[in-house]
């Protein structure tokens, strides 16, 4: 079985978020897909099977299957568009997060994703302890979002991974207004056995609605300020979010099982 590793939301190798992609003829057993994800030890391994006019897409972290993932969806569309169906510019995926559409436009792939509805939540001492800095605001949907005072606090944060596990939400996103970008962020997911997700698409389904309201505009350029870094071109569409970015193929391999 062939597997591709793609740097998503990246304009060059070793930037963005690497995801493994397996394009299958038929589904593998769930335990095998989980074991492949653990063996890869990337934040996500994507598996996809064509079903009629669309593809079924599933994402596995080293900690198990998840319901929504942006960068691995971009990576899957990139593999389909460059290897499997180079004549196709629009891909529809059936997923646990609903129907997702990815449109290729030049070097960018634009993802149409559901937006999360954030609810304000209290800033706690536990958040301050876990982050080493007290957030200005906290918001909760699937994930926890902590708004920090400035970009430097986001870039310099060294969180306590054990303490992060005790906070609400599946993942934690820390964010602030950017200097060169509309907003900056970092994502931590120790509950999924991912200490830091280099660029998180589903995280921006939380962040884009938040910053769109704060900044009073629907189109944003967001930067994930992880050590690898990645840029997302975003649009707040109400109950949907559009996320666009580039991808680069890092490796192609053969799996023996």
Instruction: Give the DSSP letter string of 211-255.
Output: HHHHHT-SEEEEEE-SSS-EEEEEEE-SSEEEEEE-EEEEEEEE-
In this prediction the pTM is: 0.92
**190-214 tens-digit pLDDT:** 999 999 999 999 999 999 999 999 9
| Whole-number pLDDT of residue 175 | 98
Residues of the chain with CATH 3.10.310.10: 2-114+243-254, 119-236
What's the pLDDT tens digit per position in 66-103? 999 999 999 999 999 999 999 999 999 999 999 999 99
Q: Catalytic positions, please?
A: 44
Task: Report the top-level CATH class of 2-114+243-254.
Answer: alpha beta
| Helix, strand, coil % over all residues of the chain, rounded to 5 | 25, 40, 35
CB 249 within 8 A of CB 4: yes
pLDDT, tens digit, for every residue of 30-50? Answer: 999 999 999 999 999 999 999
Written as six digits, the tokens of 199 are 């660029």
In terms of C-beta density within 10 A (0-12 exposed, 13-18 middle, 19 or more buried), how is residue 208 classed? Answer: buried
| Domain 119-236 annotated CATH 3.10.310.10 | yes
Can you tell me the mean pLDDT for 219-236?
97
């Amino acid at each position: 079985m062939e597997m591709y590793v793609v740097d998503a939301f990246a304009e060059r190798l070793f930037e963005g978020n690497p995801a493994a992609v397996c394009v299958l003829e038929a589904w593998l057993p769930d335990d095998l897909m989980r074991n492949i994800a653990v063996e890869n030890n990337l934040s996500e391994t994507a598996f996809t099977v064509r079903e009629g006019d669309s593809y079924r897409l599933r994402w596995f972290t080293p900690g198990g299957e998840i319901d929504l993932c942006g960068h691995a969806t971009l990576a899957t569309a990139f593999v389909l568009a460059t290897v499997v169906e180079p004549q196709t510019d629009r891909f529809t995926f059936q997923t646990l997060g609903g129907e997702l559409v990815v449109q290729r436009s030049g070097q960018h792939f634009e993802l149409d994703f559901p937006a999360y509805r954030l609810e304000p939540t209290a800033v706690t001492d536990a958040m301050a302890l876990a982050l080493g800095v007290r957030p200005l605001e906290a918001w909760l949907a699937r994930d926890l979002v902590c708004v920090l005072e400035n970009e430097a606090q986001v870039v310099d944060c060294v969180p306590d991974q054990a303490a992060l596990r005790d906070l609400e939400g599946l993942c934690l996103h820390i964010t602030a207004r950017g200097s060169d970008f509309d907003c900056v962020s970092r994502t931590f997911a120790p509950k999924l056995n991912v200490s830091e997700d280099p660029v998180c698409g589903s995280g921006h389904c939380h962040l884009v609605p938040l910053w769109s309201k704060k900044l009073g505009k629907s189109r944003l350029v967001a930067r994930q300020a992880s050590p690898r870094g990645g840029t997302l071109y975003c649009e707040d569409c109400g109950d949907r979010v559009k996320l666009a970015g580039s991808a680069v193929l890092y490796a192609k391999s053969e799996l023996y099982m």
